[in-house]
Amino acid sequence: MFFVACRLCFLPNWFWERTQLHLWLVPVTSISMAPALVPSLPLLLALLLGSSLSAQAWTQLDYCEPQNHICPMFTLTQDHVVFEERLYAQTQWICSRVLGTGSSDVMAAVENLKAFIQQKNQELGTDVNSDAWPVLISERDQDGEVQYEMCWMVLPHVTLPNTDYSNPGVLVRVDTVPQGTVYVRRFGGTPSIAEARANAVGLRQDLDQAGISYKKDFFYGAGYEGFFSLFHHNEIWIQAA
């Protein structure tokens, strides 16, 4: 336990800036002994960003910093008190599988995404991802097997062809997520996979009670601050069916 904690303490800053997956995947008990030496870097996390919605007033999260990040565009369509209904615009994501819940698995996904971005920046002669947030962490039930994936948002002025993992050696896929409704549950405290799953269960129960249809096989975990921040704004996102 202590060895894992120390390894996380000495990860470089870009890891903490671009990787919040440990918030959801690494059990909180495995890193609770780590000293708060890493600076807290706010992360803007959201599900979708794009320009396909008609002109309207976008909802601004109070923990989003538009001067530093390209924020997701969405409209709060209904507040159900215990959860929110948001309409997000279309966006593109680059995603890499996370093959386990250890820090080395997270680092591997980060390196895959970084290499892909560097390649595309050179090919296109433009910036593909800088200052674009969020980092999305999905947990999906695939034929009874739990699978994780890390996704980074593509800047709205860039359009990439969609790809998948079907070809040998492909480590990063490009996915276009269309405009759609997302149900959101907020919660505080130090994030962990246990808290994420518990809040996903709670959100699904709230949706069932409200008679709302939704996609049942996966959810997204979103954390807006670094792990060692004194305050945390966390969310669970579930897409409408």
- Say what angle helices 2-9 and 103-124 make with each other, to 10 degrees: 20
- The whole-number pLDDT of residue 11 equals 38
Confidence of residue 27 (pLDDT cuts 50, 70, 90): very low
- The whole-number pLDDT of residue 49 equals 39
Q: Which three-class secondary structure string do you get for 150-202?
A: EEEECCCCCCCCCCCCCCCCCCCEEEEECCEEEEEEEECCCCCHHHHHHHHHH
Lowest mean pLDDT among 38-42, 189-193, 232-236: 38-42
Longest CA–CA span in the chain (Å) reads 52
- The whole-number pLDDT of residue 223 equals 77
Is the distance from CB of 149 to CB of 140 less than 8 angstroms?
A: yes
Domains in the chain, ordered, with CATH? 2-239 (3.20.80.10)
Is the distance from CB of 148 to CB of 193 less than 8 angstroms?
A: no
Is the distance from CB of 185 to CB of 206 less than 8 angstroms?
A: yes
Count CA atoms within 13 Å of residue 61 on its CB side: 24
Whether this prediction's pTM lies above 0.85 is answered by: no
The listed range with the strongest mean pLDDT (56-70, 125-139, 144-158) is 144-158
User: Average pLDDT of 44-64?
Assistant: 56
Q: From the centroid of its chain, how far is CA 121?
A: 22
CB atoms within 10 A of CB 135: 23
User: Average pLDDT of 106-113?
Assistant: 94
Q: Which helix (H) or strand (E) holds 76?
A: strand 74-79
Listed in sequence order, the residues at least 6 apart from 140 whose beta carbon sits closer than 8 Å to its beta carbon are 146, 147, 148, 149, 217, 218
Listed in sequence order, the residues at least 6 apart from 195 whose beta carbon sits closer than 8 Å to its beta carbon are 28, 187, 189, 234
Confidence of residue 228 (pLDDT cuts 50, 70, 90): confident
Lowest mean pLDDT among 33-42, 105-114, 225-234: 33-42
Confidence of residue 177 (pLDDT cuts 50, 70, 90): very high
- The whole-number pLDDT of residue 70 equals 75
Whole-number average pLDDT of the chain: 79
- The whole-number pLDDT of residue 18 equals 52
- The whole-number pLDDT of residue 104 equals 92
